[in-house]
Amino acid sequence: MHIATTACVWQEKAAAMGAGAGDVAASWRVAAVALLGAVNCVVSFVVFSFLDLLDMVLCVVYKVVDYAVEAEWKACYCSAAARDGAAAAIFVPPASASAAPGPKVVRLSPSSAKMQLEDVSDTLYVRPSLLSDATKKSGPAAPSLTVSPAIAELIRGKIGRAAPRPPRHAAPCWSDCDCKVCHSWSASSRSSHLYVHVQSPTTASGVETEDVVFVHGFISSSVFWTETVFPAFSEAAKGRYRMFAVDLLGFGRSPKPADSLYTLREHVEMIERSVLQRYRLRKFHVVAHSLGSVLALALAVKYPDAVQSLTLLAPPYFPVPEEEAGAATQYVMRRVAPRRVWPPIAFGASMACWYEHVSRTICLTICRHHRTWDRLFRLFTRNRMRTFLIEAFMCHTHNAAWHTLHNIICGSAGKMDSYLDVVAGQLACEVAVFHGRDDELLPVECTLAVGARVPRAHVTVYDHKDHITIIVGQEKLFATELEDIWRRSAAAAAAGDGE
């Protein structure tokens, strides 16, 4: 593993602690940090215990309002696990003991007549309250494969509606935005394409062009790339590379179907249909941020001979300890969303991940009224601040965000090791991984673990950068890094062809 940084994180921490071992001031600082940590734990317990209760109340409120507005009782995932066999028609155990743990959903693929198995993360419907976690005597156990009839009907209904059906009057959910940008009422993801921003080469014909696919992270969009690194590329790069920045299913200007489970396979299939097949990409580079890194790895594993280089920024990789292997998705959920009020980004992630109805309330407040918030933001900042991150953050639905978070980040817990092993052993392309040392959402240890799993990976850790400023604020530097990666990949490919 090649690490382009001044020192390993753990070495720095050890040196800092050693330097202050005999220092009275350092001892006071350690005591202060311990006290603040204890306060954080106590306050977090109170706040998240309240949120446990609030989510139960909001569950009833939304059921009543949904029925009053849309004349339909809408099922949710907060029902507790129920009698055995309740969902026998949907859930089946893994094919073998060595298979990744977790339930599978039998689904009829529209592309073939064969029944396929599709992962649905158990974190969607197994989310213990903070009080039950605190009073639990033993470690986490693998969730049962049986769920309540309400949840079974919810998933069965989504699966049934995913098949082609006669068109009907399309209407958005009352709590979602209905503007033309969002078009959250899109009937089905099967009949449409993702929004793709394409930046074509600007040079004269005769120059061999290469394709690059950019994949954004959670609650973001293609503008994360088009407003940052795209303008920062050199003229030579703009003339050589054809760049594709996608809005993932459910985000930005892409469809946000209410009948989708937003699983890994659905996201990958939409990228295939909207980019690889539509634009006939035979070989391509991949650049991905955060959650998009999981999709990038899935693409690389599926198209090992097509990927020319793989660049991952802040990948959400949490190696699962052996004792947690039976509940890998639950382990990752607790790492991504630790139910702490500090830092604020962890508090936001915890509300989005643990509380289905609280997170719907946040989407109702922010996303449904994103045009109003956008106008206010522009008015008060007088356009002195760039608004692309705010715009991207607000353009999604709760259904898309909720399912994507659980089915991609948590649900991929059992796949990441195998994906990285394929990249390490079967892909010949260059692999580069970047992370901000001050990232409070996904710690830098995630990237160091990727580097340990893929020894040839070039790992770069930026000091004083976090989950967003790893690009925003140093666009020119990162654009130069990407150009160097693509140039080295082309040189390596030419050398291989010459042999």
- Of these residues, 148, 183, 184, 216, which one is catalytic? 216
Alpha carbon of residue 182 to chain centroid:
19
Residue 251 β-bridge partners = 396
Q: How far apart are CA 116 and CA 52, in angstroms?
A: 36
Contacts of 82 (CB under 8 A, 6+ apart): 146, 147, 148, 149
Mark whether 467 is an active-site residue: yes
Contacts of 120 (CB under 8 A, 6+ apart): 103, 104, 105, 155, 261, 263, 407, 411
Q: How far apart are CA 109 and CA 263, in angstroms?
A: 13
Contacts of 101 (CB under 8 A, 6+ apart): 94, 142, 325, 326, 327, 328, 329, 414
Mark whether 290 is an active-site residue: yes
- Of these residues, 119, 254, 467, 489, which one is catalytic? 467
Burial class from Cβ neighbours inside 10 Å (0-12, 13-18, 19+) for residue 376 reads exposed
CB 319 within 8 A of CB 449: yes
Mark whether 466 is an active-site residue: no
- Of these residues, 439, 458, 466, 489, which one is catalytic? 439
- Of these residues, 290, 293, 309, 359, which one is catalytic? 290
What CA–CA distances, in Å, run from 423 to 224, 287, 486? Answer: 26, 15, 17
| The Cα angle at residue 152 between residues 148 and 153, in degrees rounded to 5 | 115
Q: How far apart are CA 348 and CA 333, in angstroms?
A: 13
Catalytically active residues are 216, 290, 439, 467
